[in-house]
Chains A and B, each alone.
Chain A
Amino acid sequence: MVAAAPWMLAFALAGFLILVTFGRRLGEPVAGWIGTAAIGGAFVMAVITWIGLLGRSNREVTQTLFAWIPMGGTQVKVALLVDPLSVTMVLFVTGVSALIHLYSIGYMHKERDFTKFFVYLNLFVFSMLLLVLANNLLVTFVGWEGVGVCSYWLVSFYFDKDSAASAGKKAFIYNRIGDVGMLVAMFVLFTHLHTLNYLQINTGIGTMSSTDVTLVVLALLFAATGKSAQIPLFNWLPDAMEGPTPVSALIHAATMVTAGVYLLCRMNHVLALSPDGRATIATIGAVTAFVAATIATSQHDIKKVLAFSTVSQIGFMVLAVGAGAYDAAIFLMVAHAFFKGLLFLGAGSVIHGLDGEQELSRMGGLRTLMVWTFATFLVGWLAISGVPPLSGFFAKGDVLKGAWAYSKPLWAIGLVAALFTAYYMSRLFYLAFTGDPRFLKAAAGRPALHPPHESPWVMRLPLVVLAFCAALAGLLGTPLTNFLAPVFQGNLPADLPSSTSVILETTDAVIAVAGLAIAWVLWRGRSERPELTPNFLLRVWYWDDAYDTVIGRPSTALARSAARVVDPVVIDGAAMGTAAAVRDGARRLRRLQNGYVRSYALTIAVGAALLLAFLLARTF
């Protein structure tokens, strides 16, 4: 049963290969159905693997596929590690992916590159599964790069648009910067332990000095900040919203961006030995959760709000990792995949219905016009806001409990971020679904739109399924914790006394409802409140501007001066100088070739005479 694990990869890879070979001939919608079927098959395999794992007492199965890099005594094998953590990951990754593939058939209807879209999506799922299932860091890194490049292709899917092309490049470059951290972590681990295998790292890590362990943890954290869009490398994710909305839902909300959190959880034995590293992780997470939440309150673009919300939610996960509450991090990751996938798909449904309109100020009143979207979005909104008894309440509650046990100040930051979460999501919800339908009137250079139609069933079905998951995922909490317990050993936060637990949970619920209420008071019947969306927040705390000033502009100036001075003088000088020297030398040397046989003969004779003279001189 556990042997079904490689078949997940096989299904996704087969889907990719079929589509990349015959996709154009299959066309719409067959290519989409094949892609969906491939991922559906992978999901079935994931379920079979999971059931197989449940039936075993030793829940740590390594399946070697082939030896990849044999180097003396150490071998890097392409092998899969099937354990509770990887199975949890593949279950929700394949499940959510299958739904979003289905949704894409409707969303990408009549798009120019319909089949190419599914080629990329299937390759993405393959890479993600490889990342999650790998039993060593190097194979994980292959998947890590694979999802990165798919993300690049899909962000710049509308590559004839300048903004999409540059957003793709931005995502790619930020991710590459983070990858340096992953490489450094691998180098340090390999130098000391001569292995990259997770299980061997877990057993051998105790022999490394605490400085080296902290270096590894910080390098891994840096890798995670790139992939999971945390401070200081979070800026690429909002720009990545240039991609089609299903991509935002799948890659930039549910799966890929959680890879950093997964990596940190996977390395929990290493994290356990570095209190400083964990403190840094927790702080980065809490600060990111707070900063991104404040920015999300101000954005006008529906997808930008959701993007910053994603950054903020992953910040919560990272906070949980730092606090040692790994199970809470994974719990929130699963719940977040459901409700944020749902919210993005709902937003996609709205954008689809409104002919590509993304401005919140141009929406409103969609409650009666798009009933299915409204109902499912309502569930997602309440879930992410943390209203009991939906999944977000339990997941975020677990994270905040972990934070409370770890550090009170970080818990306070997290709580404020949670308040902002409820507030900005409510603002988005009120602006989009309640009030007057503002898109019916032309304004600010935008034409009036027709009332939107509800999306087709292939788009509604994933919404409904995800809404159920988002509502009920709270039930997963305790079983998930027990299931994952063997993977996460040591330094888990102590169980809180039940009275404290109750107080914390009540606080969470009160905060969530307060966020809803504040947004209701401030935004009921309004579509613009400039005083609440200051430039400071609209421009992302001037973060991009700071990078531009510190790195971008000096680099441009340097490149310009290089083009003006270094290139013409040094580079051209060297190249042209070499050519000129050769040419002049040749012009002189060619005189020797005068074409007269006797002069050659004389040269030979003189040469022979000189050679003889030399030999004679040496002899005597």
Chain B
Amino acid sequence: MTIPAAWFLVVSALLFGIGAFGVLVRRNVLVMFMCIELMLNAANLAFVTYSRVLHDVGGQATVFFVLVVAAAEVTVGLGIVVAIFRRRRSAIVDDVAEMRG
């Protein structure tokens, strides 16, 4: 038996919701990063699902781009986090509010 595509989409939506919720409520930068990864992979799951449903390989190709971008983003982001952590001994995002207008 095959699992209906809708289930995959539901999982994807759940993952995305959890990720978005995490980004909005958590203060720890590392946790926020993980939440962002969650959102990206939820999107990947949706892409792959639609790729199967629509028989279009474009969705799967896009996933590779997303993976590469996510890797690059994590590299840069963690670099910034490390730099901030060295100066402040904290990874709490609300402490870094100097760019306030």
Which residues of chain A have a CB within 8 Å of any CB of chain B?
589-598, 601-602, 605
Q: Nearest Cβ distance between residue A109 and chain B, in whole angstroms? A: 72
A14 to chain B, nearest CB (A): 65
Query: Which residues of A sit under 8 angstroms from B93, Cβ to Cβ?
Result: 596-598
| A595-B98 in contact (CB<8A) | yes
| Bound complex: CA A369 to CA B32 (Å) | 108
Q: Can you list 23 A-B pairs, Cβ within 8 angstroms, ordered by A?
A: A589-B101, A590-B101, A591-B101, A592-B101, A593-B99, A593-B100, A594-B97, A595-B97, A595-B98, A595-B99, A595-B100, A595-B101, A596-B93, A596-B97, A597-B93, A597-B96, A598-B23, A598-B24, A598-B25, A598-B93, A598-B94, A601-B24, A602-B24
Separation of A92 and B96 alpha carbons in the complex (Å): 86
Give the docked Cα–Cα distance between A597 and B98 (Å): 11
Q: Indicate if B20 sits at the interface (CB-CB under 8 A).
A: yes
Residues 73-99 of chain B, each 1 if its beta carbon lies under 8 Å from chain A, else 0:
000000000000000000001101111
With both beta carbons as reference points, the residue of chain A lying nearest to B93 in the complex is identified as A597
Apart from A595-B100, A598-B24: 5 A-B pairs, beta carbons within 8 A: A594-B101, A595-B97, A595-B101, A596-B94, A601-B23
Task: Give chain B interface residues in 24-46, CB to chain A under 8 Å.
Answer: 24-25, 32
Looking at chain B, what size class is its interface with the partner chain?
Answer: 10 to 19
Taken together as a complex, chains A and B put the C-alpha atoms of A58 and B97 apart, in Å, by: 90
Q: Is the CB of B20 within 8 A of A605?
A: yes
Write out the residue numbers on chain B whose beta carbons fall within 8 Å of the beta carbon of A593.
99-101
Note all chain A residues with C-beta closer than 8 A to B25.
598
For the complex formed, measure the closest distance between the CB of A615 and the CB atoms of chain B, giving whole angstroms: 16
Smallest CB gap from A599: residue in B: B24
A605 touching B100, Cβ below 8 Å: no
Q: Which 8 A-B pairs have the closest CB atoms?
A: A593-B101, A595-B97, A590-B101, A595-B100, A595-B99, A597-B93, A601-B23, A594-B100
Q: B residues within 8 Å of A by Cβ? A: 20, 23-25, 32, 93-94, 96-101
Complex Cα spacing A594 to B96, Å: 11
Give the distance to chain A from B59, nearest Cβ to Cβ, in Å: 19
Across the two chains, which residue of chain B brings its CB closest to A593? B101
- Closest A residue by C-beta to B35: A601
Taking CB atoms, residues of chain A closer than 8 Å to B97 are 594-596
Which residue of chain A is the closest to B97 with respect to CB atoms? A595
Residues of A close to B98: CB separation below 8 A: 595
| Cα–Cα distance between A597 and B22 once the two chains are bound (Å) | 13
CB-CB under 8 A from A605, the residues of chain B are 20, 24
A475 to B81 alpha-carbon distance, docked (Å): 103
Complex-state Cα separation, A605 to B21, whole angstroms = 10
Residues in B with CB closer than 8 Å to A598 are: 23-25, 93-94
A592 to B25, alpha carbons, bound, how many Å? 19
> Given the complex, which residues of A lie within 8 Å of B100, measured CB to CB?
593-595
Minimal beta-carbon separation of A610 from chain B (angstroms): 15
Q: In the complex, A593→B99 CA distance in Å?
A: 7
Considering residues B24, B98, B101, which has the most beta carbons from chain A within 10 angstroms of its beta carbon? B101
Complex CA gap A277/B71 in Å reads 88
B-side contacts of A596, CB under 8 Å:
93-94, 97
Q: Tell me which residues across on chain A come within 8 A of B94, comparing CB atoms.
A: 596, 598
Q: A601: nearest residue on chain B (CB-CB)?
A: B23
> Which partner residue on chain B sits nearest A592 by CB separation?
B101
Q: How far is the CB of B12 from chain A (nearest CB, A)?
A: 15
Closest Cβ–Cβ distance, residue B19 to chain A (whole Å): 11
Whole-angstrom distance between the alpha carbons of A26 and B98 in the complex?
67
In the complex, A592→B99 CA distance in Å?
A: 11
State the CA gap A594–B93 with chains docked (Å).
13
Chain A residue with minimal CB distance to B27? A598
- Provide the residues of chain B in CB contact with A592, threshold 8 Å: 101
A159 to B51, CA, bound (A): 86
Inter-chain CA distance A602–B97, complex, in Å, is: 16
How far apart are the CA atoms of A51 and B85 in the complex, in Å? Answer: 96
Contacts of A597 in B (CB 8 A): 32, 93, 96
Query: How many angstroms between the C-alpha atoms of A601 and B99 in the bound complex?
Result: 15
Q: Which residues of the partner chain A approach B32 to less than 8 Å between Cβ atoms? A: 597
Chain A nearest CB: distance from B78 CB in Å? Answer: 15
* A591 CB contacts on chain B under 8 angstroms: 101
B56 → chain A, closest Cβ, in Å?
A: 20
Q: Shortest distance in angstroms between A514's beta carbon and chain B's nearest beta carbon?
A: 93
Q: Which residues of A contact B23 (CB under 8 A)?
A: 598, 601
Closest A residue to B99 using CB positions: A595
**Closest-CB distance, B96 to chain A (whole angstroms):** 8
Chain B minimum-CB-distance residue to A590: B101
Q: How far is the CB of A591 from chain B (nearest CB, A)?
A: 7
Distance to closest chain A CB from B47 (angstroms): 17
Separation in Å of the A582 CB from the closest CB of chain B? 15
Residue of B nearest to A605 (CB): B20
| Residue of A592, A597, A602, A605 with most partner-chain B CB within 10 A | A597
